[in-house]
Amino acid sequence: MSVEATLPIGPYHPALKEPEFFKLFLDGEKVVDVAIRLGYTHRGIEYLAERKTYNEIPFLVERICGICSNVHPMCFCQAVEEAWGLQVPDRARYIRTIIGELERIHSHLLWAGVAAHIIGYDTLFMHFWKHREPVCELFEVLTGNRQNYAMNCIGGVRRDIDPTKHKALILQTLSQIRPSLLRLEKAVTEDPVVRARIENVGVLSKDQARKLCVVGPVARASGLAIDVRKDEPYAAYKEVGVDVKVLTEGDVLSRMLVRLLEALESIEIVKRGLDAIPPGPIRLEPKEIVPGDGIGKVEAPRGEDIHYVRSNGTDIPERVKIRAPSYMNVPSIAPQIIGSSLADASLIIAAVDPCFCCTERIALVNVKTNRESSVDFESLAQSWRRKSKHS
């Protein structure tokens, strides 16, 4: 592949989804080093949260991420509820579980589609996103919006799941997407071309995973059996139970399988939740603002999300610290990508499911000639397709 010196079009560009910057140092086609540059979507959310009242913050943190927009308000509310000593009503805990699992399904399907797109398999991308649509429409009926559900509040949830109208709709949607998911999973795992290119690519060993403290499907695909839903059950997970999927190979195929299996497990969790949901109130009004510390932990689709809130007795928090799961997972790209070929680079980056998915623009540095160029993902995808054809 010839490297031409062109003017790099930086991380900000109308064509990019989310900006991030990877600088790959190449020796021929092999990646020898990577520099990851962050901060393009740094918006000062913690700064803003320390200047807003507790009731306003769930709506602020909801907008940290568009895909995991239920996770952050739920985590924040859990941290505050811990600090103030609030017991959330049972029905609210079940509703939080159901919404959280539905979000996991839609997030994993979104990722699967994006991964398929990156490896050039656009048909699969379209099908994954087609079967994701019913989940988004379900959210629109349940919560009032396809994204930014505004369901969580301190003390419970804001909207109820109507047992007559909504329950039947949820079950119908799930029974519609489950067979499609199974078919698509087979379309991936039984396709030797796809398998050959994602198997043994981007391997992260268990030891590396532990040292880098990765979380979520990336950790579970490398043999670390960690899942907040099992280790520290929140919401209603103690009652409904979770079957945690763990694989040991640590490559892109394992991560894809873990996510697809988790999506199927989420369908079962939602069904169990709907069966067991008790009647009762869905929120309680906090009576007192208690000073103290609270830690909220939630298993987002990408891994463990942790919020730390310090309350000082006033209606504005003293400190809100938010650590999203991708923050721990993105540094793990470095050991995975070093030693791999350029064509696999964008797939490895996408496989950790970074919440800034931008393998659109990558800068390449040829270490031998020290010339820099930039390449767009279309041509990388083309090079991937060419590689698959000749295999």
Partner 1 sequence: MKTAKLRIIAEVLRSLASRAYTLKYPRVASPAPQGFRGKLEYDIEKCTGCAACVQNCPAAALKSISNGDRRTIEVWYGKCIYCGRCEEVCPERAITLTTAYSLVTGRKEEIKSSVQLEINRCLRCGKPVATARQIDKVRLQVKDLVLPEDYDAYLSSLCFDCRKTVQAGLLLAGRI
Partner 2 sequence: MLPLTANSLVHTLSNIAPLVEKLRSVLGDRFQKYSTRNERRAYVYIRKEGIRECVRVLFDQFGARLSTISAVDRNFKFDVLYHFTIDQDGLVASICVSTPKQTASLDSVTDIVPAANWIEREIQELLGIKFVGHPTPGKLLTSDDWPEDEYPLRRIG
Residue ranges that bind partner 1, judged by CB under 8 A: 52, 55-56, 59-60, 63, 123-124, 127, 130, 133, 137, 140-142, 144-145, 148, 150, 158-159, 180, 183-184, 186-187, 190-194
Please choose which of partner 2, partner 1, none residue 144 contacts, taking the beta carbon within 5 to 8 angstroms, the exact cut-off set by kind: partner 1
Q: Identify whether the C-beta of residue 252 lies closer than 8 Å to the C-beta of residue 260.
A: no
- Of residues 196-255, those binding partner 2 (CB under 8 A): 210-214, 226, 231-233
Please choose which of partner 2, partner 1, none residue 297 contacts, taking the beta carbon within 5 to 8 angstroms, the exact cut-off set by kind: partner 2
Q: Is 321 in the site for partner 2 (CB under 8 A)?
A: yes
Q: Is 356 in the site for partner 2 (CB under 8 A)?
A: no
Least CB distance to partner 1 at residue 126 (A): 9
Q: Is 288 in the site for partner 2 (CB under 8 A)?
A: no
Q: Identify whether the C-beta of residue 98 lies closer than 8 Å to the C-beta of residue 385.
A: no
Query: Which of 7, 44, 287, 370 is the binder for partner 2 (CB under 8 A)?
Result: 44
Q: Identify whether the C-beta of residue 361 lies closer than 8 Å to the C-beta of residue 345.
A: no
Look up residue 341 and give its DSSP letter. Answer: B
Say how many C-beta atoms besides its own lie within 10 A of residue 170's C-beta.
Answer: 20
Q: Is 48 in the site for partner 2 (CB under 8 A)?
A: no
Choose between 146 and 230: whose C-beta lies nearer to partner 1.
146
Please choose which of partner 2, partner 1, none residue 42 contacts, taking the beta carbon within 5 to 8 angstroms, the exact cut-off set by kind: partner 2
Q: Which of 97, 328, 319 is nearest to 208 (CA)?
A: 328
Q: Which of 298, 205, 237 is nearest to 94 (CA)?
A: 237
Least CB distance to partner 2 at residue 127 (A): 35
Q: Which of 359, 341, 386, 22 is nearest to 200 (CA)?
A: 341
Q: Which of 381, 337, 375 is nearest to 5 (CA)?
A: 375
Q: Is 323 in the site for partner 2 (CB under 8 A)?
A: yes
Distance CA 133, CA 151 (A): 20
Least CB distance to partner 2 at residue 116 (A): 29
Please choose which of partner 1, partner 2, none residue 233 contacts, taking the beta carbon within 5 to 8 angstroms, the exact cut-off set by kind: partner 2
Please choose which of partner 2, partner 1, none residue 28 contacts, taking the beta carbon within 5 to 8 angstroms, the exact cut-off set by kind: none
Q: Is 331 in the site for partner 2 (CB under 8 A)?
A: yes
Least CB distance to partner 2 at residue 336 (A): 14
- DSSP H/E element including 153: strand 152-153
**b/e sequence 345-376, b meaning 16+ C-beta within 10 Å:** bbbbbbbbbbbbbbbbbbbbbbeeeeebbbbe
Q: Is 51 in the site for partner 2 (CB under 8 A)?
A: no
Which residues are within 8 A (CB) of 130 and not within 5 positions of it... i.e. 6 or more apart?
A: none
Least CB distance to partner 1 at residue 104 (A): 22
Please choose which of partner 2, partner 1, none residue 193 contacts, taking the beta carbon within 5 to 8 angstroms, the exact cut-off set by kind: partner 1
Q: Identify whether the C-beta of residue 41 lies closer than 8 Å to the C-beta of residue 34.
A: no
Please choose which of partner 2, partner 1, none residue 52 contacts, taking the beta carbon within 5 to 8 angstroms, the exact cut-off set by kind: partner 1
The stretch among 90-98, 275-283, 289-297, 343-351 that binds partner 2 (CB under 8 A) is 289-297
Q: Identify whether the C-beta of residue 188 lies closer than 8 Å to the C-beta of residue 335.
A: no
Strand 152-153, strand 156-157: pairing: antiparallel
Strand 361-366, strand 21-27: pairing: parallel
Least CB distance to partner 1 at residue 59 (A): 4
Measure the CA angle with vertex 104, ends 102 and 110; round to 5°.
Answer: 110
Please choose which of partner 1, partner 2, none residue 148 contacts, taking the beta carbon within 5 to 8 angstroms, the exact cut-off set by kind: partner 1
Residue position matching structure tokens 């379309």? 187
Q: Is 42 in the site for partner 2 (CB under 8 A)?
A: yes
Binding region for partner 2 (CB under 8 A): 38-39, 42, 44, 46-47, 50, 82, 210-214, 226, 231-233, 292-293, 295, 297, 304, 306, 308, 310, 318-319, 321, 323, 327-328, 331
